[in-house]
């Protein structure tokens, strides 16, 4: 029994390692040319509606691309982009974007105080959880817990995602956690935290 348990643990460890090692960043770079048209040649998008991919944790990017490919996450643009990607392509692309650095923008000075407060503390009165509790004090996320990096993300993209979590068009992760967070937020809070995140570094 003890032996079985230990080999199960060893096996789980090995398969995690193998999963992490399937992405080849150099191969991903060659495959990323088409993505750069929207997400930027360096993974920093030039349009506020399109997300930066630079510096994102590879396991999260893999999960997102799988979601678009399977249709679990419905998006006409990314559904078409992901449709032709193989499992290997997805891992290579995710490994490549993880090596790039996100370039944050500037927060709107009129919104940044509310955004920063909400990010760090949440809103007790309306039950908005602290974003920092899951995404980390600097918005770098946590790959082990599958928490995405959100620092420096584009303003309109963040607003769109928070609205999609709130109205259920995007699933909010294990136990739909982002649904509960986003649906408790006011429009003003969503804009303020999106602005704070765009400038966070």
Distance, in Å, from the CA atom of 94 to the CA atom of 201, rounded to the nearest integer, reads 21
What does the block give as tokens for 29? 């770079």
Closest CB to ligand HEC among 15 and 47?
47
Distance, in Å, from the CA atom of 18 to the CA atom of 86, rounded to the nearest integer, reads 17
Which range of residues in 4-12, 18-26, 99-107, 176-184 is near ligand HEC by CB under 6 A?
176-184
Which range of residues in 8-16, 18-26, 31-39, 105-113 is near ligand HEC by CB under 6 A?
31-39
- x/- mask, ligand HEC, residues 134-173, rule CB under 6 A, reads xx----------xxx-x-------x-xxx---------xx
Question: Residues near 168 by Cβ (< 8 Å), separated by ≥ 6?
Answer: 179
- Report the alpha-carbon angle 141-50-172, nearest 5: 45
Question: Residues near 166 by Cβ (< 8 Å), separated by ≥ 6?
Answer: 179, 182, 183, 185
Task: List residues binding ligand HEC (CB under 6 A).
Answer: 34-35, 37-39, 49-51, 53, 61, 64-65, 75, 77-78, 81, 93, 118, 128-129, 131, 133-135, 146-148, 150, 158, 160-162, 172-173, 177-178, 181, 193
């Amino acid at each position: 029994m003890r032996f079985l348990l230990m080999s199960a643990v060893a096996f789980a460890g090995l398969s995690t390692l193998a999963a992490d090692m399937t992405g080849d960043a150099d191969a991903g770079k060659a495959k990323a040319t088409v993505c750069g048209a929207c997400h930027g040649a360096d993974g920093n998008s030039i349009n506020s509606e399109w997300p930066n991919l630079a510096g994102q944790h590879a396991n999260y990017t893999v999960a997102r691309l799988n979601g678009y490919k399977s249709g679990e996450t419905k998006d006409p643009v990314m559904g078409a982009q992901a449709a032709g990607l193989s499992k290997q392509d997805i891992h290579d692309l995710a490994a490549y974007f993880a090596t790039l650095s996100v370039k944050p923008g500037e927060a709107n000075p009129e919104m940044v105080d509310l955004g920063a407060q909400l990010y760090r503390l949440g809103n007790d009165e309306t039950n908005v959880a602290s974003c920092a509790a899951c995404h980390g004090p600097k918005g770098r996320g946590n790959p082990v817990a599958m928490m995405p990096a959100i620092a420096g993300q584009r303003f309109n993209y963040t607003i769109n995602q928070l609205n999609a979590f709130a109205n259920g068009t995007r699933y909010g992760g294990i136990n739909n956690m982002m649904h509960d967070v986003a649906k408790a937020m006011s429009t003003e809070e969503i804009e303020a935290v999106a602005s704070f995140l765009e400038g966070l570094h």
